[in-house]
Structure 1
Amino acid sequence: MTINRYLSGSFAPVTEEVTALDLPVTGRIPAHLNGRYLRNGPNPLGIEDPAAHIWTLGAGMVHGVRIRDGRAEWYRNRWVRSSSVADRLGEPRRGTPVDERLDMAPNVQVAGLAGRTFALLEGGIRPYELGYELDTVGPCDLGATPEGYSANAHSVFDPHTRELHSLAFLYGSQHVQHIVMDESGTVVRTTLIHT
């Protein structure tokens, strides 16, 4: 029997959410570092067919470390609570419902803008807003345009212009849209690009 390499070792799914406080530090964290280090990735809650599973499948799980005054104050990991994840965990759904076909727990990127934190995915999947301690607020309209596009994963913040740039696409569309948001999160311009 062959073991699926995406279900073992460093690829193995994390099975629980953890909060750890006052983490031990080996060496020294520079005192001027202040903030959170966050990462997002796929972490399945259940696997229907282990033989066919690939590492990109699975609900988004955001991991974070809070650093301040030379200390690692906390580590926590949380699944992004899309409707299906909340249902599976037996919790109430969060935020305003979105089209069930586009309601997935984003598992690619974490981006910050206007003092808010967002989990992102590609393909027209709505971003999810997260609270400071990684709790899910709900789906949001970050970068939403009248054509139905919204901010996608791999968005990039330009520190010089203070703008967030996103190349958004919808599955099945012949176009992508370049969406530019100002530092308050307001869409300031869009460009439709024919592919």
Structure 2
Amino acid sequence: MIAIIKYNAGNIRSVQNAITRLGFASIITDDAEEIRKAEKVIFPGVGEASSAMAYLKERKLDEVLISLKQPVLGICLGLQLMCTFSEEGNTKCLGIFDTVTKQFPPLKKVPHMGWNNFSEIKESKVVENLNELDDVYYVHGYYADVCSDTVASCNYILPFSSIMQKNNFYAMQFHPEKSASVGEKLLNNFLII
């Protein structure tokens, strides 16, 4: 069973629908025991960093998340909250990835919204059969710096982490559930790890 974390953030149902289309069963939950027992955990979201972290802390899900040993995937806001700090609301985050989330400078249209390809891809099971010309769908005004945990980067105004991995933790800044066949391939890669 795949646990999708419920934490006061949007877009969770579309992630669940994408998982169902791929043939996997999932539940949406904020129950710590269900999350701990799940084969895999998905931490998706569209929302604001400080209120989302407050919800996690209130339910002690911040402690649960960082203690998980099974594969965990953060999507969009999920990726940002897996970093050490977010400029959005000056928020102390989970600290899984050793980088910070910053606001895009207003040199182009912000938020970054639309289809973009990758500028660099490193080796990881989650990016198998992915190439730099593949496009994925982004909607975000904040970004995580490129760091040692960056598996794939993208350029919009500046380079940022598009896909990250550290041990059993994976994250995608774009929305795989809205990224057509490329997104399905990436979600499936995670679900079969």
Query: Which TM-score band applies after superposition, normalised by the shorter structure?
Result: under 0.3
- The structure that has the greater radius of gyration is 1
Q: Normalization by structure 2: what TM-score?
A: 0.26
Q: Normalization by structure 1: what TM-score?
A: 0.26
- By relative contact order (CA 8 Å, sep 6+), the higher-ranking structure is 2
Structure with bigger strand share is: 1
